[in-house]
Amino acid sequence: MKIKSWIWKIMMLLATGILTIISLVPIIWLYMSSLKSTGELFINRWSWPKRIAWENYTTAWNKGNIDLFFMNSVIVTLASIFAMVFLGALAAFAISKYTQFKSGFYLFLFFLLGQMVPAQIVVITLYLILNKLHLLNSYQGLVLVYVASGLPFVILVLQGFFRGIPRELYEAATIDGYSEGKLFLRIALPMASPAVATTLIIQFKYVWNEFMLALVINSAGQKLTLPVGIYRAAVTQYSTDYGVAFAGISIALLPMMVFYIIFQRFILKGIAAGAVKG
């Protein structure tokens, strides 16, 4: 069953081309379409817009309230990732350092449990609990939920890195008078900064794009995050004004794209490393 090598090479080339096309064309088409007025969208599917309809973007930003949703997402995402990484690092540090106690191991298992829990099982009861605590439709409620859901992953990854820190470093510093807290802040954290950065980035992707929890918890009022807001706007207000809807989607997409282009090394490495280790 010998295939001539040049046929093989051509097939590989074709595969490469097709993959690149299907990866990029939909998004390119999205951006092209977002710059066409809705009317033009129906006549001209393929080529460059005859007239660039910037007003799609301004309408989406202003009337569609996208500026509000964008800001909400920024606040919620940044607060969530920094909180979860800091708290997670603290816990991971303790779990990896105080291995002489069995409780550390049980704590670790307890956190690991949450990694397997999909949002589906908790969303209903979360809604009820947050309702009782008057934390629905707020920043705090959603952030707390994201932190809780993201902690297992952060702890899982960071404790692995912290374990690699040699004990002698801690011992020497303790002799020098460092408190435990200082050991964490001045030694452990800086040494694990690549892992911390990767975790921040991966969790940014998670929180920024998250839809279901945001939909349920912040469903009314002013605190909608971007994914939910876009959904509402695209499906309700602008269900017929496709040009504006596309512009809105493109705006939602932009931070993630920029983020990806800048940090793609980290993201790709982080996912691959996490998977192989796990």
Partner 1 sequence: MVKNLMKQKYLWLFTLPALFVYSVFWIVPLIVNIPISFSKWNGLAALTRQDFIGLGNYSRLFQDKVFMLALQNNLVYTVLSAVFTLTLSLAVAFLLDRYVRFKGFFRTVWFFPNILPFIVVSYLWLWIYNPAFGLLNGLLDLLGLDHWVRMWLSDPKIALYSLIATSVWSHFPFYMLIFLAGLQDIPKELEEAAKIDGSNGWRVIWHIVLPHLRPILAIVVTLLIFDGFRVFELIYVMTNGGPGYHSTEVLATLMFKRGLLDLDFGYGSAISIFVTIFVMLIAAANFAFMFRADRRSR
Give, as ranges, the residues between 147 and 166 that touch partner 1 (CB under 8 A).
147-149, 151-152, 155
131 contributes a contact to partner 1 by CB under 8 A: yes
Query: How many residues of this chain interact with partner 1, rule: CB under 8 A?
Result: 90
Cα–Cα distance measured from residue 122 to residue 113, given in angstroms and rounded to the nearest whole number: 13
Asked if 109 is part of the footprint of partner 1 (rule: CB under 8 A), the reply reads no
Which phi and psi angles does 206 have, rounded to 5°?
Answer: -65, -55
Applying the rule CB under 8 A, the residues between 41 and 100 that interact with partner 1 are 41-42, 45-46, 87-88, 90-91, 93-95, 98
| Distances in whole angstroms, Cα of residue 196 to Cα of each of 69, 85, 92, 96 | 27, 7, 11, 15
Give the residue with the Cβ less far from partner 1, 120 or 168. 120
H helices of 35-138, in order, are: 38-43, 55-62, 66-97, 102-115, 119-132
CB of 194 to partner 1, least distance (A): 17
Binding to partner 1 (CB under 8 A): which residues in 110-129?
Answer: 110-111, 113-114, 117-129
Cα gap 261→100, rounded to integer Å:
43
Residue 275 phi, psi dihedral angles, 5° rounding: -70, -45
Q: Give 81 or 151: the residue with its C-beta nearer to partner 1.
A: 151
Q: How crowded is residue 183: how many other Cβ atoms within 10 Å of its Cβ?
A: 19
C-alpha to C-alpha distance for 37 and 276, rounded to whole angstroms? 47
Mark 172-191 with x for binding to partner 1 (rule: CB under 8 A) and - for no binding.
--------x---x-------
Backbone angles phi, psi at 45, to 5 degrees: -85, -30
Distances (CA, A) of 57 to 24, 48, 197, 224: 22, 17, 32, 19
Stretch that binds partner 1, among 47-55, 60-68, 165-173, 261-269 (CB under 8 A): 261-269
If binding is defined by CB under 8 A, does position 24 make contact with partner 1?
A: yes
Binding piece for partner 1, criterion CB under 8 A, among 51-59, 60-68, 166-174, 210-218? 210-218
Closest CB to partner 1 among residues 144, 157: 144
Q: Does residue 10 belong to the site contacting partner 1 (CB under 8 A)?
A: no
The answer to whether 272 contacts partner 1 (rule: CB under 8 A) is yes
Of 19 and 52, CB closest to partner 1? 19
